[in-house]
Chain A
Amino acid sequence: DAGITQSPRYKITETGRQVTLMCHQTWSHSYMFWYRQDLGHGLRLIYYSAAADITDKGEVPDGYVVSRSKTENFPLTLESATRSQTSVYFCASSGTDSEQYFGPGTRLTVT
Chain B
Amino acid sequence: AQSVTQPDIHITVSEGASLELRCNYSYGATPYLFWYVQSPGQGLQLLLKYFSGDTLVQGIKGFEAEFKRSQSSFNLRKPSVHWSDAAEYFCAVGGGRALNFGKGTSLLVTP
Contacts and interface: CB of A to CB of B under 8 A. Distances in A.
Interface of A: 31, 33, 35, 40-45, 48, 50, 58, 90, 92, 94, 97-105
Contact of B46 (A35, A48, A99): A99
Contacts of B98: 33, 45, 48, 58
Interface string B75-98: 000000000000000100010111
For the residues of A in contact with B, the DSSP-based class is strand
B103 A94 contact: no
Contacts, number: 50
B43 A99 contact: no
Contact of B97 (A31, A43, A90, A101): A31
B43 A102 contact: yes
Nearest to A91: B43
Contacts of B101: 35, 42-44
